[in-house]
Structure 1
Amino acid sequence: MVFLGGAILRASVTDVYLRYVKQGLRPFLIVAGVLLVVTALAALWQEFRDHRRTGEEHDDGHGHHHSGPAVGWLLLLPAVALLFVAPPALGADTAARAGSALTGNQDTAYPPLPPGDPARLTLLDYGYRAVYDNGRTLRDRQIQLTGFIAPGPDGQPMLARIILSCCAADGIPIKIGLGGDVPQLPADTWVQATGRWLPHTAKDPVNDSDIPYFQVDAWQKVNPPAEPYE
């Protein structure tokens, strides 16, 4: 429990936890890690105090100690995984297997984009405005999007990002089709693309949701962000 709580704390005070959960859950992870460590230390102190008091190891005569079954050491496995194995964030493989997030109807009045070009938008915000607002607030504006390359159903590159409600287990992709100067890069390569709204949509074959398009005027490769999810 000490190692498991310590591993959770280490992940929480670095950016590693962002590969598993949303940023807002960091305080809860820290509290959980502290509670695990405190509880484990209290149990160790109790064990040490009892051992000193009796001067023996409390053997029950069958080779088992009262400190608990050996299976408890399996708690070391998730601790070691958190400390030494850093899995990649969900990416192109998830985008290929799961349907896009733009399902249903969003009858919402979207406010104008902030002044200044290019306007930096999340992929989800761009998708909502393109599909549910018919691109009204996107017209005649330069827009900047950041995401990773994922193969589209037609084999052409798309821009994608994973959206979390809580943790990586509920992650779903937002997919943006690309036109113009399309980056021909391997899947999971992160790019920052600048361009314009393209009045065109396609259907996602996975869940029949709408996939809006984006006209790429310029792009550049970027490092994966510390917080890879939207």
Structure 2
Amino acid sequence: MNRQAQAAVMFLLGAALLHAGATDLYLRYVKAGLQPLLLASGAVLIAAALATAWYERKRTRAAKAASASASASGTGAGHTHPEPRISWLLLLPLLSLILIAPPALGSYSALRAGTALQKPYALGTLPAGDPVPLSVVDYASRAAYGQGRSLHGRSVRVTGFLALDRTGTPYLVRMALNCCAADAQPVKIALAGKLPPVLQPDAWLEVTGTYSPKATHDPVNGGPIPYLSVTSAKPVPTPHDPYDETWNN
């Protein structure tokens, strides 16, 4: 792979990063807050590729001029060694980024990792209105660490995907990100009450319900898993951002 080919690969990689950052594709890899850095990285790679191509073109012209001068003077020109062909394997991660959009992590990953729920620094006051929309992390934090004090007498609406353990216990889950999908960990809410007759793992549900004092422990790491008493549940499409970034706030 010569310098021109390297510049072309770098340009394509930068363009792929810009494409991912300008669309929803980047949400499959990193949290939303990293979008500006992703776009900046793509722009830097494209600029570096253009600079490399310009420099290589200039160097090639100079080498041709030197070769012509050496031929005229009868001086032999040196030979160059070809670049190793294995370097073309660098195209594989680029093609995977362009051609394959990985699905968001689901119930398989959630049931094999312990809950990432952490004790919050503080629990704010819930906004007015019923049902009040809460993230999985927010409800779980208020139920597990706030003893449900802020939830008493309130109806809540929570959205997540469904996971079923070996005993058939249903959980409403959201994978929480610290940085990127590689470090995603689940936060789980156990469900009880009026549930759909057929529960499909990985299906996204919008659940309305009330606080339940019942709680259990995650069999993987022993972390707290609070219950939610369900009054209604309906399927919903996969959200724009399937991950939850609020767990470490």
For the criterion TM > 0.5, the same-fold answer is yes
* Ranges in structure 1 where 5+ consecutive residues have no aligned partner: none
Q: Which amino acid aligns with 2:31?
A: K
Count residues with an aligned counterpart: 225
Is the counterpart of residue 169 in structure 1 residue 173 in structure 2? no
User: Residues 211-226 of structure 1: matches in 2 within 5 Å?
Assistant: 211-226=225-240
RMSD over aligned Cα, in angstroms? 2.0
Q: More deviation in 5-14 or 69-78?
A: 69-78
Change (3 A) 1:147 1:210: same
Change (3 A) 1:70 1:47: farther
Is the counterpart of residue 61 in structure 1 residue 74 in structure 2? no
Is the counterpart of residue 73 in structure 1 residue 88 in structure 2? yes
Instruction: Give 1:53 shift.
Output: 2.8
Is the counterpart of residue 40 in structure 1 residue 54 in structure 2? no
Instruction: Give 1:95 shift.
Output: 0.7
Q: Which amino acid aligns with 2:93?
A: P
Instruction: Give 1:178 shift.
Output: 0.3
Is the counterpart of residue 50 in structure 1 residue 64 in structure 2? no
Is the counterpart of residue 120 in structure 1 residue 133 in structure 2? yes
Q: More deviation in 126-135 or 185-194?
A: 185-194
Separation in 2 of the partners of 1:20 and 1:49? 38
Contact 1:3 1:76 in 2 (8 A): no
Q: Which amino acid aligns with 2:160?
A: G
Is the counterpart of residue 186 in structure 1 residue 195 in structure 2? no
Separation in 2 of the partners of 1:61 and 1:20? 44
Is the counterpart of residue 110 in structure 1 residue 128 in structure 2? no
Instruction: Give 1:3 shift.
Output: 1.2
**Cα deviation digits, residues 170-210 of structure 1 (max 9, x gap):** 11100000011123322111111111111100111100011
Q: Which amino acid aligns with 1:100?
A: T
Separation in 1 of the partners of 2:88 and 2:97? 16
Match of 2:162, SS state, is strand
Pick from 165, 169, 173 the counterpart of residue 160 of structure 1: 173
In the other structure, the counterpart of 1:90 is 105
Q: Which amino acid aligns with 1:126?
A: Y
In the other structure, the counterpart of 2:30 is 21
Instruction: Give 1:81 shift.
Output: 1.0
Separation in 1 of the partners of 2:52 and 2:241? 36
Match of 2:149, SS state, is coil
Instruction: Give 1:153 shift.
Output: 5.0
Match of 2:141, SS state, is helix
Q: Which amino acid aligns with 1:38?
A: A
**Cα deviation digits, residues 38-60 of structure 1 (max 9, x gap):** 1111111111222223338x996
Change (3 A) 1:10 1:221: same
Separation in 2 of the partners of 1:208 and 1:172? 14
Change (3 A) 1:45 1:109: closer
* Ranges in structure 2 where 5+ consecutive residues have no aligned partner: 1-9, 68-76, 245-249
Identical-residue share of aligned pairs (%) = 45
Match of 1:99, SS state, is coil
Separation in 1 of the partners of 2:78 and 2:91? 25
TM-score, length-scaled by structure 1: 0.91
TM-score, length-scaled by structure 2: 0.84
Q: Which amino acid aligns with 2:79?
A: G
